[in-house]
């Protein structure tokens, strides 16, 4: 039997993750997942690929607010509303090939983030109506995502991680892969083949295997960067698209919204 064993959101793209016991899910993914993003002075997105210590900034959801604090100094923090910035300033931002219009967070937050990360940056928020259409090569009409790299949801299996760790001298935790949903049960990497599946009766569509980059080599608790597990994963999980771990998926627009909880059963 396959069951949901982990639920995670990353309110700010490439900052720390938030573990949940349940979450609303809709056509653009889990509620608040990657709805904020850090950009440079030109509006280009910034991630752990360039700034690994972004992992050390921990978001917290609190009574209508998004709180940002450094893992090592929780007394120094910034707050911005979950509903979006207090000011109504539109700025163009870039995520890979996509240009979208986002809302700029207040200057105090931007200055704090710049100090924490050691580089000039700004925090922006993407209203749901401004969501980015999925690429035509794998998306369907009407499917969209917020600031995630390419798709609304990322699902990984504990069996896959166990298999990977059996190849490593030093095992890695699941947080290296920054999934939204983790499941237990089933065979290693079986999610690769899930073209359609349900979670407690909620239908989802498997889009494509997730191609991994060097971010999985960054320790999410220390920001230290290593060669593994990407080097080992590349020896047996590479195809024409790249090195794969996990499945991208979406909840169809016609499904509206649903609630996913720990322990929910998966049928695939």
**Using one digit for the tens of pLDDT, what is the confidence trace for 99-146?**
999 999 999 999 999 999 999 999 999 999 999 999 999 999 989 999
Segment 134-179, tens digit of pLDDT: 999 999 998 999 999 999 999 999 999 999 999 999 999 999 999 9
Confidence band for 74, pLDDT divided at 50, 70 and 90 = confident
Q: Does residue 70 surpass a pLDDT of 70?
A: yes
Q: Which CATH number fits domain 2-267: 3.40.50.150, 3.90.550.10, 2.40.33.20, 3.30.870.10?
A: 2.40.33.20
Per-residue pLDDT averaged across 29-48, rounded?
98
In the chain the first and final C-alpha atoms are separated, in Å, by 10
Instruction: Calculate the alpha carbon distances from 12 to 35, 84, 187, 199, 249 in Å.
Output: 6, 12, 32, 25, 20
Per-residue pLDDT averaged across 83-101, rounded?
95
pLDDT computed for residue 89 by the predictor = 95
pLDDT computed for residue 253 by the predictor = 65
Per-residue pLDDT averaged across 46-55, rounded?
98
pTM of the model: 0.97
Distance CA(169)–CA(226), nearest Å, equals 13
Residue-range domain boundaries for the chain: 2-267
Segment 224-258, tens digit of pLDDT: 999 999 999 999 999 999 999 999 999 966 678 89
3-state SS class at 217: helix
Per-residue pLDDT averaged across 178-205, rounded?
96
Per-residue pLDDT averaged across 182-198, rounded?
97
The CA-based angle 66-71-73, given to 5 degrees, is 95
Confidence band for 56, pLDDT divided at 50, 70 and 90 = very high
3-state SS class at 20: strand
Q: 133 near 144, Cβ under 8 Å?
A: yes
């Amino acid at each position: 039997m396959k069951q949901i064993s982990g639920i995670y959101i990353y309110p700010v793209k490439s900052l720390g993750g938030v573990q949940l016991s349940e979450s609303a899910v809709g056509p653009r993914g889990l509620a608040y997942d990657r709805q904020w993003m850090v950009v440079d002075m030109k509006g280009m997105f910034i991630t752990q690929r360039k700034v690994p210590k972004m992992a050390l900034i921990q978001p917290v959801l609190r009574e209508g607010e998004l709180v940002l604090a450094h893992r090592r100094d929780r007394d120094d923090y910034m707050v911005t509303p979950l509903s979006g910035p207090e000011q109504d300033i539109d700025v163009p931002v870039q995520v890979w090939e996509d240009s979208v219009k986002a809302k700029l967070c207040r200057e105090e937050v931007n200055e704090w983030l710049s100090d924490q990360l050691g580089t000039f940056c700004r925090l922006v928020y993407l209203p749901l109506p401004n969501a980015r259409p999925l690429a035509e090569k794998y998306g369907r009409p009407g499917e969209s995502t917020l600031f995630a790299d390419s798709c609304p949801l990322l699902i990984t299996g504990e069996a896959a991680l166990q298999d990977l760790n059996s190849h490593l001298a030093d095992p890695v935790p699941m947080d290296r892969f920054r999934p939204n949903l983790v499941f237990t049960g089933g065979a290693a990497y079986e999610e690769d083949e899930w073209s359609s599946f349900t979670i407690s009766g909620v239908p989802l569509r498997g889009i494509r295997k997730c191609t991994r980059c060097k971010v999985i080599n960054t320790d999410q608790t220390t920001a230290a960067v290593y060669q593994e597990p990407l080097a080992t994963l590349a020896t047996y999980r590479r195809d024409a698209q790249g090195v794969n771990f996990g499945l991208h998926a979406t909840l169809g627009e016609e499904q509206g919204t649903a609630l996913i909880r720990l322990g929910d059963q998966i049928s695939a």
